[in-house]
Structure 1
Amino acid sequence: MTIIFTNHALEQAELRGTNEVEMTVAIEQGEEIPAKKSRFMRRKNFEFNATWQGKPYQIKQVAPVFVRENEKIVVITVYTFYF
């Protein structure tokens, strides 16, 4: 399936420390979890071992929220969590 990123999703990705590659991997390989409003969310943990906003973290979880439209996946937004 083709993955399309909305401008909002790309803006949020930059603000939250992720990118299109990580979002794509999360969609293709991640665990699906419930989302609101007939949307889907997949989450995947990535090894991080770096600093985010002044604090060190080992893991970054990337969780894109998307809808399926015909033969496309449209990413609406993305969340990131650091552990």
Structure 2
Amino acid sequence: FLLISIVNLAESSKVLLISFDGFRHDLLNETMVSILRPHFRFSFGKKEKICFRMLTVTAANHMSIVTGLTEDKHGIIGNFFWDTKKQMM
């Protein structure tokens, strides 16, 4: 049932996640939202499902947003990644 729901959602809906890196939470004011509102339908979900992440590392924060997991579960803790084939970052 869950898989079918996910497939149906994927076929009928699209989600665009916009991330402002280095952007203080208090800078998103009504003026900025009013500029974006005509182009997008804003949905912040249900109150009880919102989980704010206060990570200061972009890659770890994005992974938490996309997966819903905390950094101790998804394993991303920094912005640098080791390429095992090239043996470099």
- With the shorter chain as reference, the TM-score category is under 0.3
Structure of greater Rg? 2
TM-score scaled to structure 1, two decimals? 0.22
TM-score scaled to structure 2, two decimals? 0.21
Q: Which has the higher contact order (CA 8 A, sep 6+)?
A: 1
